[in-house]
Structure 1
Amino acid sequence: MAENRRKWWLLGAMSGVLGLIVLDETIVAVSLPSITQELGLSVSAAHWVVNAYLLSFTCAVAIAGRLGDQFSRRHYFSSGAALFAAASLLAALASDGTTLIVARVLQGIAAAVIFPTSIALITKAFDPEKRGTAFGYQTTVGGIFMASGPLVGGLLTQTLSWRMIFWVGIPIVLGIAVLLWLIWSPNYDVQKHKTSSAQTPLEFAGPAFLIVGLFGLVTSVMQGPSWGWTSPMTLGLIVLGLATLALFLQRELTHPAPLLDISLLKIPEFAGGVFIFAIFQLEKIAVFVFAAQFFQDILGRTPILSGVAVSLAILPTLGTSILVGKLTDKFGSRFTLVRGVTCHGAALILLAFAAIQQSFLLALIPLILWGASMPSIAIPVRRVQMNAVPKDKHAQASGINLTIQMLGGSFGLAVCSALITETGSYPLLFFVVGCLTLLVIPIGQRSMAKREGRA
């Protein structure tokens, strides 16, 4: 196969990976009421079905990204794909909440293996001046899966069973793995040298601190409303989380061969992009989980109609992703990012006013605006980050970026869950998240400035 054709087949396969990851974010939210009823879950346990995936992804993705630079990417990706298929099977067959949550943890770990590898492979296959377009196509495919998730989840749940939402990922991930083997080129692996730091022994104490710290903080926020914010358990987990995260930072900054190269955060473009992605993930969760929940719990809509509403919000990305990728290559990242964030934050604030009116049709307008502007954040930021990071650290950079991004989603779910539990106000939730999104604008302007015209 000619190399030019091969890289486009690779892009197609790796775009399917992004689609699979976002599908597992969106397809479950609409099904939560049915899962809760059949398995007899509490409200907190139901939210753990979503957050178990996010949190395990968060804890594992930076570590998995670092390991992705150590082994054959083809074998490493295939192992992650096999784990994802097995975990999906376990979730589909789960007879109780504990089994389902464990399966979601395993899905998150598997996703953490395959997604950073997919970003690294695309970056390896495409020249810098074409990466914006490549990531644009990838985001389009991801948008198709993302838009399909709520609708497919609602249809399967209402007409068959919520268990079917986990069956659909198995043939997808196995098909992607097979395609990667068929089109593989040795050039897609990292070219290692004897003097490379990648050859030094790996250390695992730092990541262990990271896992304990993130678990402690997220659990304290998730369980705070039911345990009590001043209960010994809540306060103890907060202290444990902060202490172990401090140990993690100290370990990684002083170790001669850290598993996670925190020094990458000294790159302004990369650090700014990391923060933007964290906020981006937070507000995505606010829409996917709590907009669907608002339509069902407050407006009394069916799972199918709720899925249609959220799918309509995501549908515009199919038309805007490629356009945004090309505009980013032509005009620079800051140009598209600032306009995208402005539309994104304003749409969430408008959604808050629609929620006050309790109007289903009125809520669709800001949701569609929100979805249309989504690629204007993801594409330019990812492009600047990958161009700013050394080539031999692309997979690790993707892992660190995704750790903090998914941490934003995990904390976002925990905080939004606590806010709804304490206030019961969906308008307040959407308004707060919208204002937080607008705070990204000055950060984006500063972090993108140095690469404007080159990235």
Structure 2
Amino acid sequence: MNHWFHQDGIIVADTQGNTRWWLLAAMGAILGVILLDETVISVALPTIQKDLGLTRLQSHWTVNIYLLVLACFAGAAGRLGDILGARWLLSAGLLIFGLASAAGGFSESGLDLLLARAIQGLGAALIFPLSLLILIRSFEEHERGLALGLYGAIGTIFLSMGPLIGGVLTEYISWRWIFWVNPPIVLIVAAIALACWRDPAQLPEPAFDWKGFLLLVVGLASIVFGIMEGPDRGWAQPEVVIALVSGLLLLTLFIPIERSAPNPLIAVSLFTNPSFASANMIVFTAQFVKIVMFVFGALYFQSKLGFSPLAAGAALLPVAIPQVFIAPLAGKIADRFGARTPSLIGVGCGTIGVALVALGMRVGNSQMIMAAFLIWGCCAPFLFVPPRRAVMMSVPVALHGQASGISMTFQLLGGTVGMALASTTFAITGSFPMVFWLIAIFAGCVFAYSYVSLERKPVKASSEKPE
């Protein structure tokens, strides 16, 4: 049973013995399963497309529907974690994710697979922010950066093996096993979480912000639908125009409604803190780049260079393997120096890496592409760990769950928007290099914004609730 105390305004679990380390291992493992599910499917897409008779756009939707549901529901899950507690909500997410993964492996049509992927996204949306919330509240302030680094390292072990596992399973067994590897891990994580975690006593909370939730979900879904479907259906088609316009209007309306709400789904006032805003933008960009690299990198190697699924998976390993070793170092650096310097190094060098990928694809040099993948893989931990620490340390205690939800929402929104824009760019131009030039330009803009906005000293959490 956990006991609770305040340290520098942070609620921390007074864990006994190795409990917090078991929780770290479990939360890192489930993060890893979700990351594995993002990367393992990338090398299997051409095979899945052929087996189930999917169009190019439908195959891209198998990636993006998962990310879209994640992005839409992660913020709500973080808020519900504040209200209801993380223990049973996390368990529900694990159950949903595990069952949907099993169903995905049994899919007999594109519709079956898309439905299973959407339900997977719902389960993952519950897991993602609540796993971060449990992790943050299990460690004291001076250990938190290290814990986040190890959490990321455990997750990226799975991520790093994703392309290779996907290639082996697809080429030698069946792509269906990329889904069937999930349920056993989910069961183990659920057992550890239920045994080791108890929520703190919850103060009475008002009703859930359903108005804000519906505006966010419908607005995001409409915009992503419009961007994804525009090239195939036609940008002037009524359904595309209505989706884009209504999505923009709903998200615009979302901001003043959330500002005036007594207990908003997302405290938009937090974005008046430049460090909070820029840190979330870096996480958004990191996920944007990561998804595009794995999906379009795998497609490029198989469709342009004639690689097998296994060879394409091996070619993507330089993106992921360095993160396993560098993530803990990124956490220690953030603990000592704050988020600004490591984050800017990550964004700047990562932008160079993406530009080199585009150049390598332009000249058809696979060695140059893999070297550029390696550069980005070394930078990626600095795009996730220090900014995420800055996000959590810049909000009051009462909003920790919501802050984790916002951070995860931005990360996953980066993936779904990135996938939508990359898919649209590729549909219009038919050019892999153009896809990567697009994200290089975007990342460069984020670097400039972060240079101006990120706090120049380590961010300390406030114990006061923002007005």
Q: Give your verdict on TM over 0.5.
A: yes
CA deviations over 1:280-331 (Å, ceiling 9, x no partner):
1111111011011100111111110100111232101111111111122222
- Cα pair 2:94 2:190 within 8 Å, conserved: yes
2:449 is the counterpart of 1:423: no
CA deviations over 1:131-155 (Å, ceiling 9, x no partner):
1111110111111111111110111
Instruction: Give 2:234's aligned residue.
Output: 228
Instruction: Give 1:29's aligned residue.
Output: 42
Q: Which deviates the most, 333-342 or 60-69?
A: 333-342
- Cα pair 2:76 2:213 within 8 Å, conserved: yes
SS of 2:137's partner is: helix
1:193-272 correspondence runs (5 A): 193-194=203-204, 199-272=205-278
Instruction: Give 1:274's aligned residue.
Output: 280
Q: Which deviates the most, 217-226 or 361-370?
A: 361-370
2:55 is the counterpart of 1:67: no
- Cα pair 1:420 1:426 within 8 Å, conserved: yes
Instruction: Give 2:56's aligned residue.
Output: 43
Instruction: Give 1:79's aligned residue.
Output: 92
- Cα pair 2:226 2:244 within 8 Å, conserved: yes
* CA distance in 2 between partners of 1:23 and 1:313 (Å): 13
1:351-370 correspondence runs (5 A): 351-370=357-376
Instruction: Give 2:106's aligned residue.
Output: 93
1:361-400 correspondence runs (5 A): 361-400=367-406
SS of 2:33's partner is: helix
Greater helix content = 1
* CA distance in 2 between partners of 1:314 and 1:259 (Å): 33
Q: Please tell me the residue identity of whatever aligns with 1:352.
A: A
Instruction: Give 1:125's aligned residue.
Output: 138
Instruction: Give 1:104's aligned residue.
Output: 117
SS of 1:216's partner is: helix
1:326 paired residue among 332, 337, 341: 332
Q: TM-score, normalised by structure 1?
A: 0.95
2:141 is the counterpart of 1:135: no
RMSD, aligned CA: 1.6
Instruction: Give 1:150's aligned residue.
Output: 163
CA deviations over 1:217-244 (Å, ceiling 9, x no partner):
1011101111111222211111111122
- Cα pair 1:146 1:311 within 8 Å, conserved: no
- Cα pair 1:223 1:234 within 8 Å, conserved: yes
Q: Please tell me the residue identity of whatever aligns with 1:122.
A: L
Deviation at 1:270, TM superposition (A): 1.6
Q: Please tell me the residue identity of whatever aligns with 1:263.
A: S
- Cα pair 1:216 1:240 within 8 Å, conserved: yes
* CA distance in 2 between partners of 1:452 and 1:149 (Å): 34
Deviation at 1:450, TM superposition (A): 5.0
Instruction: Give 2:293's aligned residue.
Output: 287
Instruction: Give 1:436's aligned residue.
Output: 442
- Matched pairs, number: 448
- Cα pair 1:15 1:139 within 8 Å, conserved: yes
2:166 is the counterpart of 1:166: no
- Cα pair 1:30 1:153 within 8 Å, conserved: yes
Deviation at 1:425, TM superposition (A): 1.2
* CA distance in 2 between partners of 1:264 and 1:210 (Å): 17
Deviation at 1:74, TM superposition (A): 1.5
CA deviations over 1:239-298 (Å, ceiling 9, x no partner):
111122223223222222323322222332222111111111111111011011100111
2:302 is the counterpart of 1:296: yes
5+ residue gaps in structure 1? none
